[in-house]
Amino acid sequence: MPAALSAIEYRIRPLDPGAHLFEVSCTVPEPDPAGQVFRLPAWIPGSYMIRDFARNIVTLRAEAGGEACGLEKLDKHSWRAQALPAGGALTLTYQVYAWDLSVRAAHLDTTHGFFNGTSVFLAVEGQTGRPCLVDIERPEHAACRDWKLITALPRARGERGAARAYGFGRYRAADYDELIDHPVEMGNFTLASFEAGGVPHDIALTGRHDCDTARLMADLKRVCEWQQALFGAPAPMDYYAFLAFVVGDGYGGLEHRASTALMASRKDLPWPGMEGVPEGYKSFLGLCSHEYFHTWNVKRIKPAAFTPYDLSVENHTRLLWAFEGFTSYYDDLALVRSGVISTEDYLGLLGKTIANVLRGAGRLKQSVAESSFDAWTKYYRQDENAPNAIVSYYGKGALVALALDLQLRAGSEGKCSLDDLMRLLWQRHGLGGTGVAEDGIFEAVREVGGARLGAKLARWLRNAVEGTDDLPLARLLKSCGVDYRAEPGSKAPTLGVKLAGGNGGAKLATVYDGGPAQAAGLSAGDVLVAVDGLKASAKDLDEMLGRRRAGEEVEVHAFRRDELMRFDVTLGEAPADKIVLSPARRATTAAAHLRKAWLGG
């Protein structure tokens, strides 16, 4: 039996919370004698944008055998350290500036610390398959004396206390890939623990809040158990943690193999005595559900392009519509199927998803396959023209999933659904461990749908994701007992703009292609200050225009840069941009049956 590889040893401690600095060291027992290269990821899996985390490394030194050794910077995120000619361990010590309040990087102050391994742990080139040990040390600062720690990273063997003691100390990972897939939160978070499907789950809430954790746990338990049942026992993790940072106004999440990092608005959390399921809470539950679904879809069922990840450059795949889009379809669907929200609530959420996709003309120019491929430079780097130029692989991807699900259900008379497709992908790629080829989803649809339906839907799916036609949702929803109605969301005629809001004038965030404002010469960034000689603001613009009719001309004054300009705008018909879905009153028995199988209730 070959000797076990010696572990790469990391140590991380909050050096100075006031200065937002972590100190990290990495000891390599057997460095490359020709010079050991270290590299920090340029991006974090799940967030498809080059972020160059190494720019936050402030100081860096290398030593071996008690002596400083040479260190050469190779490129924006790589260094080479000289090893001792006689061999022996090499240690790199560096400081990382951590003041990025997002789920993607690292954040440290006297109230809490948070980091993703991608921001703080340098990879040891050529040795990323070795096991890793990490000592996470308590900060010495007086304000941090009572801090606890939570992560899904397993405790090192022989560590004192239970498997999960919420304490500082030594943790382990089987390799570098695992090391960077378990974010760590430290501070005085609220901890709520529950079991779902026999698996212990934790929710850690950092930041001020008045959350009714009992309600949150009860709802999340149902959602988690529904998802576990969808894919089949046993769940692929033996522990799961929701790490939520609670702020006044924020939203975001990033998936990991046994945890998720979330950013949540305080007002979106349930409070003691809350009745029903308010919109904000639906949105927070949807976010939790989304990231949890990724435990299967993208963390384990992965595009072949991500197996393995190359964290130094963009990794292109045309499949994000399946990994983000299908996950976006199931996030809200899991809420209704698990009984956490009603059918009416669900149809309300679905109507909003449809309306969001239909609002931008970009959907007629870019396919979801193209949107996936270009995520790095387009979806993640949206500018004022984005709604006119691109489509979201989240939103339209969710609608593709919906359309596929409805067709599988109706076409098989209820014998088959998207759930079967997800299970097939799970069996083959999740448990099997092979990546999904770029045409792998089409193949899986062909298989799951059977000879005739499968072949037909595989062709349909390819056209849907590679083309830009709107999906026939009204017809498909009707076949499953749901009525679809499009109506104007506003009574006022339209300028064809999206406002950025703010005080003072109404700043135009986007000028929609083919709309009245664009025809009159207004541009994104213009600050609209008056309509027909009367002061206008973002707040009262709709009311002012509500007294006019489509076809009428209004005089608009706006600043472009510091120059006041005048425009004559012919108001347009209010677009039918609100989608109202409701259970069909006169559904056929077959359609009503399909709806019940689809949404429960």
Residues contributing to the site for Zn ion (CB under 5 A): 324
- Report the residue number, 28 or 400, with the smaller CB distance to Zn ion: 400
Helix (H, G, I), strand (E, B) or coil at 434: coil
- Report the residue number, 465 or 581, with the smaller CB distance to Zn ion: 465
- Nearest approach in angstroms of CB 331 to Zn ion is 8
Nearest by Cα to 136 from 122, 149, 154, 118? 149
- Nearest approach in angstroms of CB 252 to Zn ion is 10
- Nearest approach in angstroms of CB 314 to Zn ion is 18
- Take residue 463 and report the two structure tokens written for it: 């056209």
Note the residue count of the chain. Answer: 601
- Nearest approach in angstroms of CB 327 to Zn ion is 5
- Nearest approach in angstroms of CB 438 to Zn ion is 19
Residue 492 one-letter amino acid: A
Q: Is the peptide bond before 308 cis (omega within 30 degrees of 0)?
A: yes
Nearest by Cα to 61 from 38, 96, 94, 32? 94
Cα distances (Å, whole numbers) of residue 438 to 63, 298, 455, 490: 45, 14, 17, 41
- Nearest approach in angstroms of CB 150 to Zn ion is 22
- Report the residue number, 225 or 324, with the smaller CB distance to Zn ion: 324
Q: Tell me how crowded residue 495 is: count the other CB atoms within 10 A of its CB.
A: 29
Residues near 576 by Cβ (< 8 Å), separated by ≥ 6?
A: 486, 487, 488
Give all strands (DSSP E) within 395-525, no chain letters: 482-487, 497-501, 506-511
- Nearest approach in angstroms of CB 255 to Zn ion is 6
- Report the residue number, 219 or 324, with the smaller CB distance to Zn ion: 324
Strands of the 184-187 sheet, one edge to the other: 106-108, 112-115, 184-187, 148-151
- Take residue 260 and report the two structure tokens written for it: 């998720």
- Report the residue number, 324 or 526, with the smaller CB distance to Zn ion: 324
- Report the residue number, 109 or 324, with the smaller CB distance to Zn ion: 324
Q: Is the peptide bond before 33 cis (omega within 30 degrees of 0)?
A: no
Whether the Cβ atoms of residue 97 and residue 52 lie closer than 8 Å to each other = no
- Report the residue number, 224 or 495, with the smaller CB distance to Zn ion: 224
- Report the residue number, 123 or 390, with the smaller CB distance to Zn ion: 390
The residue of the chain with the least Cβ separation from Zn ion equals 324
- Nearest approach in angstroms of CB 122 to Zn ion is 27
- Nearest approach in angstroms of CB 254 to Zn ion is 8
User: For residues 59 and 558, what is the distance between their CA atoms, to the nearest angstrom?
Assistant: 48
Residue 429 burial class via C-beta count within 10 angstroms: exposed 0-12, middle 13-18, buried 19 and up: buried
- Nearest approach in angstroms of CB 324 to Zn ion is 5
- Report the residue number, 22 or 330, with the smaller CB distance to Zn ion: 330
SS (H, E, C) 512-581: CCCCHHHHHCCCCCCEEEEECCEECCCCCHHHHHCCCCCCCEEEEEEEECCEEEEEEEECECCCCCEEEE
- Nearest approach in angstroms of CB 600 to Zn ion is 24
Segment holding 23, helix H or strand E: strand 21-28
- Report the residue number, 236 or 546, with the smaller CB distance to Zn ion: 236
Nearest by Cα to 359 from 489, 478, 251? 489
- Report the residue number, 324 or 370, with the smaller CB distance to Zn ion: 324
Burial letters 65-74, b for 16+ CB under 10 A, else e: eeeebebeee
- Take residue 450 and report the two structure tokens written for it: 């059977």
- Report the residue number, 27 or 295, with the smaller CB distance to Zn ion: 295
- Nearest approach in angstroms of CB 450 to Zn ion is 30
Q: Which residues make beta-bridge pairs with 95? A: 23
